[in-house]
Amino acid sequence: MSNGIVNIFTNNSVSETKNTSLTQIESQRAIQEVQAAMIIAKKFPRDPIQAMDRILNACTRQTLAEGALYSYPRGGMDVTGPSIRLAEAIAQEWGNLQFGIRELEQNDNESTVEAFAWDIERNTRQIKTFTVPHVRFTKKDGRKKLTDPRDIYEMIANQGARRLRACILGVIPGDVVEAAQKQCEVTLAANVEITPETIKNLSDAFNNEFQVTIEQIQERLQCKLEALRPAQYLQLKKIYVSLRDGMSKVSDWFVVVDTQNNSVKQLNEEIA
């Protein structure tokens, strides 16, 4: 039997020292990174004219324009706004701007997340901190707790997209955003192509992702899909982007039929 005395605090002391050192190193690295970014931004300031030209040129791309605008109902009118895709494209071309989503904390039930946009040159910052419950609501399963890390990541990304969009638009001048929207409208109008194939692809997208049927679409448009006009087609594209980005819900645009209640009602009528 050993009579030696063991210091029970030795391991804890070493561990705490290591953690403190790592924290200090990470803190210094973050400070140096911020300082370097600000120095570079001041040394190479953006040229607003060139930045605007780059933004408008990006908005002439059909692929960007198709997902750049969304619509949402307000006061009985359809309002059009820039989607997260357009906001990101504007931020990239504007320059000297950092933006993103970072997870601050996670436990078994929820994550604390931060969306941010920082104009390094002007030192203007927008930050939104929010909580994302690890829960998904579906018509089939109701409330379902998420345990797969991939499902949690996708939930955080979806919830964070709207906050990130708001942060970016908070540091970009409003007239720049409006000009980009108008250019996207021009691009869409100049390249709109209505064929049986494009109509089918759009209706399939509504049905597969949001369970919106052809009948619901036709009810809203008050015409057959085969008779779609360019303006109606573009409006449907904006509604699709709005639903995809979570800016609105299906019931905001289409008549939602409760098939279960209708079946019960029909059965009661037959019994009567």
Residue 269 clears pLDDT 70, i.e. is over it: no
Q: What pTM was computed for the model? A: 0.75
Conformation bin of residue 122: beta by default, left when phi > 0, alpha when psi is -120 to 50: alpha
Listed range (27-41, 42-56, 60-74, 197-211) with the worst mean pLDDT: 27-41
CA distances, 209 to each of 45, 62, 164, 232 (Å): 43, 22, 23, 20
**Under a CB-based contact definition with an 8 Å cutoff, are residues 101 and 164 in contact?**
yes
The residue ranking higher by pLDDT, 203 or 263, is: 203
Q: Which residues pair with 117 in a beta bridge?
A: 99, 126
Listed range (24-38, 52-66, 163-177) with the worst mean pLDDT: 24-38
- Residue-wise pLDDT tens digits, 175-227: 999 999 999 999 998 888 888 899 999 999 999 999 999 999 999 988 898 88
> What are the start-end ranges of the H helices in 128-213?
149-171, 174-191, 196-210
Residue 32 clears pLDDT 50, i.e. is over it: yes
Residue 141 clears pLDDT 80, i.e. is over it: no
User: How far is 58 from 51, CA to CA, in rounded Å?
Assistant: 11
Q: Within a 10 A sphere around the Cβ of 240, how many other Cβ atoms?
A: 21
Q: SS3 for 11?
A: helix
